[in-house]
Structure 1
Amino acid sequence: MIGASEAIAFANHLFTTVRHDEYPDRLVQSLRELAPFEIYSATIFMPNRHPILLHGNLDDFASAQVIETFLTATYLLDAVYTACCAAVEPGLYRLSDLAPDNYFSSDFYNSADFHPCVSDQAGSLAEEIVYMARPTEGLYVVLSLMRTNSVLPFSADEFSDLKLVAPVVLETMSHHWQAAVGKALESDANVAAPVSTLDRAFATFANDKLSPREQTIVCLLLRGHSTLSVAHNLDIAEGTAKVHRRNIYDKLGISSQAQMFLMFCSHIINSRDMQP
């Protein structure tokens, strides 16, 4: 556990480099001294907009195509994006605190073709934790710190140390990437989005085959909710949720959630490619 003097030194270390080129690397280096991690990324997330990658080493772990697909399409299934849409309070979070109950066994989370932090060789992550700064309403700068499955998740002491310096991390992130935030807002200033991107994607997925209720269930399943969680969210019996799930499979001509996931990914990728 770090003490007050170490926390002050940490703050001074970062504040002296804010808005300088060395800040992102200094931030990563300082955090690694508190708790080691292999993968990191800083990203702007906005409801109804594509994420913007600011900094990181994702390209050491995933192909450019997978990263591009995530940033333009499959981010819709990401728990961090969903948390931003839900206007979560700024702070430090374990991804497990933000994600639905079945998220970590979902096809999205474990797919090397669609999730930029999953490797065919190494598998999925041991853990991801995120600093979520909100420099302006409706926009987040998110710093993700990730450990591969070759190491242990972040310990309670490590997480406590990282949380202790969270105010400094969030403030300096907001200040350093202020220009990037301004450009993100300016580029989207005149774009009307009365319906969320995620809702729009699910509303147009197999809408000639599925009822609105079934589309809602598909949305919950693909975002990582179990059948029990679907039932709880919709205030229906678990048996009823299972019947809906079977009916959805029959209407789509599939036999598994993995097939449904691939169909949905193809849908949002094709939708992206058809946009002007």
Structure 2
Amino acid sequence: MGTVTLHLSEVFPLSQAELASAHWQGLLANIINSLAQEEFYQNFSRGCEYLSGYDSVLIVWFSSEHRPVHLYDDVPEEFAKQTMPPWFEGAYLLDPFYQLFVDNAPDGVYPLVDVAPDFFFETEYAHNFYSNTGLKDECALLVNLDKDHAILVSLGRRDEGTVSAANIDTLKLTLPVLATLCRKQQSAGEGEITFSAPLDKAFRNFGRDHLSKRECEVIQLILKGHSNKGIAQLLDISVDTVKVFNKRFHTKLNISSQAELFSLFLEAISLVPFDADIDPLTHYFEITQRP
């Protein structure tokens, strides 16, 4: 791999004192020296935490061809045990940061509060899954590798403090060099990861054998965290029409709440065979013999 040349005074918007500090110089040196090595993302995370003021990191590789691949985390074990298995098994499909990747968002620094749908924090995903992460504040760095692959660096904070706007600005200004380092690391390590089944197709197919196309669209938007009003605007229909679709799919699926919908979705999506072009609900009903 070629030599990485960095002109620090141009790419890092820190004060002279911070830029010259032994702590930052040591962090940056460790990141560069560990390129193409196993400890790269651990060192990269320390640097991101220093720049941002967040205190935990989860780094994943997004792809249109497979489920997210775990690259690194320093999430406290009590939270990681509860949340990571279901997230990687399918809950990631409802994550606003994953939606950025699906929507081909550009490289950027994205606070969760800026990208989450209008009803996100009232969803079953937020109440029954996201709340278990313990996070009080979250922000993500999205680094696109190509049109089908990206690195997501999720930065979290679990205490009641807030990350300053200045810290977010620092991340935004340093993103070009941070993104370059990620791309260098991934280009050095391509081909070393075993992939598992993609689920985007399964998400799009969810309910197709049992519901109308519009009912499926409404369900997908509900699961992602959109309110009835938000869904009406996105689909260019009235709020009353959205409510009608809600009532119809509740009846057809024999469920009575968003909590039951969320549970049914996670159970069905986790059982989808590798790259199968099927309705996860049909497969789930066949296995569980549920009518």
Aligned to 1:71: 88
Q: Which amino acid aligns with 1:153?
A: T
Tell me the distance in 2 between the aligned counterparts of 1:178 and 1:246.
49
Tell me the distance in 2 between the aligned counterparts of 1:7 and 1:168.
15
1:236 is aligned to 2:237: yes
Aligned to 2:66: 49
User: Structure 1 residues 96, 183: closer, same or farther in 2, change over 3 A?
Assistant: farther
* TM score, norm. by length of structure 1: 0.81
1:3 is aligned to 2:15: yes
Aligned to 1:137: 147
Q: Which amino acid aligns with 2:110?
A: Y
* TM score, norm. by length of structure 2: 0.78
Tell me the distance in 2 between the aligned counterparts of 1:59 and 1:15.
26
Q: Which amino acid aligns with 1:156?
A: A
- Per-residue CA distance 1:13-54 (angstroms, 9 max, x = gap): 333432244432322222222333232111000124200000
Alignment of 1:259-270 (within 5 A): 259-270=260-271
Aligned to 1:173: 182
User: Structure 1 residues 223, 147: closer, same or farther in 2, change over 3 A?
Assistant: same
SS, match of residue 271 in structure 1: coil
Q: Which amino acid aligns with 2:138?
A: E
User: Structure 1 residues 258, 86: closer, same or farther in 2, change over 3 A?
Assistant: same
User: Structure 1 residues 272, 80: closer, same or farther in 2, change over 3 A?
Assistant: farther
CA contact (8 A) 2:66 2:195 kept: no
- Per-residue CA distance 1:77-96 (angstroms, 9 max, x = gap): 11122211111101211122
Tell me the distance in 2 between the aligned counterparts of 1:132 and 1:158.
17
Tell me the distance in 2 between the aligned counterparts of 1:79 and 1:88.
12
Q: Which amino acid aligns with 1:138?
A: D
User: Structure 1 residues 131, 63: closer, same or farther in 2, change over 3 A?
Assistant: closer
- Per-residue CA distance 1:76-121 (angstroms, 9 max, x = gap): 1111222111111012111223322112222113324xx5xx43xx
Q: Which amino acid aligns with 2:199?
A: T
- Per-residue CA distance 1:190-234 (angstroms, 9 max, x = gap): x9xxxx8335334243x4432111011000000111101100110
Deviation larger for 124-133 or 223-232: 124-133
- Per-residue CA distance 1:225-249 (angstroms, 9 max, x = gap): 1101100110001121122112222
User: Structure 1 residues 208, 18: closer, same or farther in 2, change over 3 A?
Assistant: closer
Aligned to 2:279: none
Root-mean-square deviation over aligned CA pairs: 2.9
- Where structure 2 has 5 or more consecutive residues not aligned to the other structure, the ranges are 1-12, 277-291
Q: How much does 1:57 deviate?
A: 2.1
Deviation larger for 159-168 or 226-235: 159-168
User: Structure 1 residues 175, 70: closer, same or farther in 2, change over 3 A?
Assistant: same
Q: How much does 1:274 deviate?
A: 10
CA contact (8 A) 2:69 2:195 kept: no
Aligned to 1:30: 47
Identity of aligned residues (%): 24
Deviation larger for 216-225 or 164-173: 164-173
Tell me the distance in 2 between the aligned counterparts of 1:203 and 1:75.
16
Q: Which amino acid aligns with 1:70?
A: W
SS, match of residue 50 in structure 1: coil
- Where structure 1 has 5 or more consecutive residues not aligned to the other structure, the ranges are none
CA contact (8 A) 1:44 1:139 kept: yes
